[in-house]
Structure 1
């Protein structure tokens, strides 16, 4: 099974009929074995996002972002995964799933910088520049993507 929080799995299970247990188990097992590139490609496809828009909005150099999305860059930094999540307009749950899929720690509300990012995601602020201004304004390291060297 993947690393979703128990409360999230309990919520999902509350709507699963006994005869659909195998489908649930297969989906959860597949989810836990997915690479970060598979995760993003599935998400981008599911929401009909334009890959070029996601890459541009992430503020990550195009060749690096394409490397993450095509599986050539298997260990992207936490900031770059967060930037891709923001560019995809992911909610907090999906952002943390992406981070875990990439083998990175999820956003944690007891860490000030993470809390600030969580606030912005929860307010549906998906502009990296605005998020970085918010972080900088609170003396926190900005998201390191391409044009900046912080974090």
Structure 2
């Protein structure tokens, strides 16, 4: 089961809501069709749901590929670290193989800014995510080849 398709994107829902006029029956039909199946109250809820839906993922490998200490990763996954910084969370999302939509959802839950296609480093990160890069080492190689400095904290996690 692919979580990206199970959970309607916010953009899709907003487009569908534009079609609903001041018609209570249409609103009720919409609510029936798009009843949320999953409600993530926290970043850790979302990350743990994602891992459960992707049994091939192992936290040990995620931490290695994201270049983060297991103690820090465990704090994020168990919810004691509720708001990791944007460039601390992105390597985890990349190592988990999240899409851009899924990564931005994780960033929103962490109350961090989403990836911005107008920011040069974020442009490169978006490309890496779209190309399904799975390690922060590959991301850093790409940034270096593109002559872009890595965003603060993405190369070496100063925790």
Place the TM-score, normalised by the shorter chain, in its bin.
Answer: 0.7 to 0.9
CA RMSD of aligned residues (A): 2.6
Q: Does 1:27 align with 2:37?
A: yes
Deviation readout 1:124-147 (Å, 9 max, x if unpaired) = 1112101011112333232525x7
Q: Does 1:72 align with 2:80?
A: yes
Q: How does 1:116-127 map to 2 (within 5 A)?
A: 116-127=124-135
Shift of 1:5: 4.2
TM (norm. structure 2) is: 0.75
Conserved 8 A contact 2:100-2:129? yes
In structure 1, what is the Cα distance between the partners aligned to 2:13 and 2:117? 20
Tell me the matched-pair count: 139
In structure 1, what is the Cα distance between the partners aligned to 2:72 and 2:88? 10
State the secondary structure of the residue aligned to 1:27. Answer: coil
* Equivalent in the alignment of 1:54: 62
Deviation readout 1:88-133 (Å, 9 max, x if unpaired) = 0001110111111110111111111101110111111112101011
Structure 1 unaligned residues grouped into runs of 5+: none
Q: How does 1:2-151 map to 2 (within 5 A)?
A: 5-6=10-11, 8-9=12-13, 21-22=31-32, 24-27=34-37, 30-31=39-40, 34-48=41-55, 49-142=57-150, 144-145=153-154, 148=156
Conserved 8 A contact 2:88-2:157? no
Shift of 1:54: 1.5
Shift of 1:148: 2.0
TM (norm. structure 1) is: 0.78
Deviation readout 1:6-62 (Å, 9 max, x if unpaired) = 3x2257889xxx66834733436x24xx21111101101111122222222211111
Structure 2 unaligned residues grouped into runs of 5+: 1-8, 20-27
Return closer, same or farther for 1:71/1:56 CA change in 2, 3 Å cut-off.
same
Larger Rg: 2
